[in-house]
Structure 1
Amino acid sequence: MKVTSHLDWNPMLVDPTGRRQNKPRTLGKTMVIDKGLGLNGFEDLLDTSGAHLDMIKIGFGTSPLYPQQLLRKKIEMAHAYGILIYPGGTFLEVAITQNAVSSFYAMIVNLGFTGVEVSDGSIEMDRKLRNKLIETGLEEGLSVITEYGKKCWGSSIEVEELIETVTLDTEYGAELVTIEARESGLGVGIFDEQGNCKDEELSRVLSAIPGQEILLWEAPLKNQQVHLLQLLGPDIHLGNISPHEIISLEALRRGLRSDTLSFGNARS
């Protein structure tokens, strides 16, 4: 076979589904959780997966543990790839408990973060405060991602409460509402102690929400990603993905793995 100097992949091989959006995407967003990548690892992540990555969450309350110049560099690199970057919601919960919310917002804006996560996974928060935190984020020019669900083992979804949360959060300006599953994906939210999806709870949630495009499902485990993609389609938003699994998840979305090969057969 003659070798040419440049040859592109057949589009049918790049995306057998024929439906994957380019960035900036409105469907099928992927969020990675960064639990401590150094600059070299972060740069490798962006070089290999930047086109398939929409959001980076600097996990938990780890943001102040980095050398500040290193953190600024990571944020700057995310900007260059058109990636929304924000600290974990637990860090804002710490700011609430320490009466340092104003300082928190001032610092994350100064550092260059482009988003904020408003959550109450580890604390109790009334509706008035939640609304205020969303409004403050928007006033600071940040994209606001909210989160529903408690982090404690065995916690589940209260559908009526979720409906109210999604409705009010989006009315106040939240772009997405995250469904909590922690970084483990075990014994929390829609997943049982073995990490299997509780389909009955999932169905109740979907029947009550006006559109699944406003939900970001935390699904750190491969079997969870496959199950949700098969059940809800490749255009769902998925989060808490490990940095080394972004390409693997993108292959699942496009029908480039055996688990989702049938996605390519549905091409219209």
Structure 2
Amino acid sequence: MDRKPMSEPGCFDFLTPPYRSEKPRERGITVISDPGLSIADMRSLVEVAGPFIDHVKFTDHVGNLWRNREAWMKEKTAYYKNAGIDTLLGGIPFEIAAVQGRVGAYMARVAELGFTGVEVSEDMMEPLGADERVKAIKAGLDRGLHVFTELGRKLPEAPLDADEAIEMGLRDLDAGAYLVVIEKSDILKIIREKRDVLHRIVEKFPRDKLIFETGPGEEMEIGRWLLGEFGNDVNLENIRPNNALMFEAMRHGLHRSIDYNYFEAFAGKPIPPVAGG
């Protein structure tokens, strides 16, 4: 493998890159979705984009629960871990375990498979209630897992209520949640209806404790808006593997989708004389 971590000199290391924090990051976190990548495709993803990926979220729910072999899953989680990438299961498997009354067994199995994290959500099921949600968070923590908790619904009938979301998210953090996730469907609704809900939520949380879903489906629209509103170090989740490099370019201000805003810092300044070497 002839590629390098970002901390090593590149081919044009005499050119100063935009600032980008090194892993392990607390801000500027990128979570890539693994929709059931083969071992070969996983290795290719890590080869080309590993330094930019902080977590991988396994999103092939049917495969992860009932089709994939244990050894295969463990091989994948171990490979990501050895590459400095944490792993978690998406929220739908948790919700299946919750409606079947098997949360404890589910958390234990997630840990056994080598995952470092798990998502607690209730975006398709009936709400757990505050006390049961805290118990679910604790069940993950007891197995040594980083617990991501999600706010919002996949099929929202009404806009996300900022006050309710703030109360729930802060309670999640008090219970030990690692990151609070804002559901993509609610983000899209807020953006298109031009509401200030996300800004109100961001004002009440530490920036390193919030992460925003971008996909599936509207990654570009949501990602561009989030980077424009909250800066290049906003935490982003649910990015498709083939978009990992594009989103890193967007964070650098070096992609057409964000109008190459890297160059805004040089606007109106004289260009240095051309030198020969």
Question: How would you bin the TM-score normalised by the shorter chain?
Answer: 0.7 to 0.9
Larger of the two Rg values belongs to structure: 2
Query: Comparing both chains, which one has the higher relative contact order based on Cα–Cα distances under 8 Å and sequence gaps of 6 or more?
Result: 1
Give the equivalent residue in structure 1 for 2:186.
Answer: 189
CA shift at 1:260, angstroms? 4.9
Alpha-carbon distance change, 11 to 216 in structure 1, aligned in 2, over 3 angstroms: farther
Gaps of 5+ in 1: 1-5, 182-187
Alpha-carbon distance in structure 1 between the residues aligned to 2:10 and 2:77 = 34
Change (3 A) 1:223 1:229: same
* 1:213 Cα deviation from its structure 2 partner: 2.5
Normalized against structure 1, the TM-score is what? Answer: 0.86
Identity percentage over the alignment? 29
2:174 is matched with: 171
> Structure 2 matches for 1:16-55, cutoff 5 A?
17=18, 19-55=19-55
How much does 1:67 deviate?
2.1
Aligned to 2:211: 216
Residue 164 of structure 1 deviates from its aligned partner by: 0.6
2:128 is the alignment partner of 1:129: no
Contact 1:254/1:264 (CA < 8 Å) preserved in 2?
no
Out of 246, 249, 254, which is 1:248 matched to?
246
> For residue 203 of structure 1, what is the aligned residue in structure 2?
199
Deviates more, 1:62-71 or 1:49-58: 62-71
Matched to 1:41, the amino acid is: D
Deviation, 1:198, is: 3.5
Cα separation, partners in 2 of 1:138 and 1:266, compared to 1, 3 Å: farther
TM-score (norm 2): 0.84
Equivalent residue runs for 1:99-114 within 5 Å: 99-114=101-116
* Equivalent position SS for 1:190: helix
- Cα distance, 1:131 vs structure 2: 0.6
TM superposition outliers: structure 1 runs of 4+ over 2 Å: 10-13, 153-156, 195-207, 210-213, 260-267
CA distance in 2 between partners of 1:236 and 1:199 (Å)? 19
Which residue does 2:275 correspond to in 1?
Answer: none
RMSD value, Cα: 2.1
Q: Contact 2:124/2:153 (CA < 8 Å) preserved in 1?
A: yes
Structure 1 residues 105, 203: closer, same or farther in 2, change over 3 A? closer
8 Å CA contact retained: 1:190, 1:197? no
The range that moved more, 114-123 or 147-156, is: 147-156
Report the 3-state secondary structure (helix = DSSP H, G, I; strand = E; otherwise coil) of the residue aligned with 2:196: helix
- The aligned amino acid for 2:166 is I
- Do the aligned partners of 1:191 and 1:198 also contact (CA within 8 Å) in 2? no
* 1:140 counterpart residue number: 143
Q: d(CA) in 2 for partners of 1:110 and 1:151?
A: 29
In structure 1, distance between residues paired with 2:58 and 2:10:
38
Residue 106 (structure 1) shift: 1.7
- Which residue number corresponds to residue 157 of structure 1? 160
In 1: Cα distance, 2:239 partner to 2:158 partner: 21
Partners of 2:131 and 2:36 in 1: CA distance: 33
Q: Is the 8 Å Cα contact of residues 230 and 260 (structure 1) preserved in structure 2?
A: no
Which of 84, 87, 92 is matched with 2:86 structurally? 84
Partner of 2:269: none
Letter in 2 for 1:81: A
| CA spacing shift, 1:114–1:7, aligned 2, 3 Å | closer
Over residues 161-215 of structure 1, what are the superposed CA-to-partner deviations in whole Å (9 max), with x where a residue is unaligned? 111111111111111100001xxxxxx202139x7474533333334x2333211
How many residues align? The count is: 251
Counterpart Cα distance in 2 of 1:11 and 1:99: 58
Contact 1:28 1:237 in 2 (8 A): yes
Identify if the C-alpha distance between structure 1 residues 197 and 246 changes in structure 2 by more than 3 Å, giving closer, same or farther: farther
CA 1:131–1:266 in structure 2 vs 1: closer, same or farther (change >3 Å)?
Answer: farther
Residue identity matched to 1:261: Y
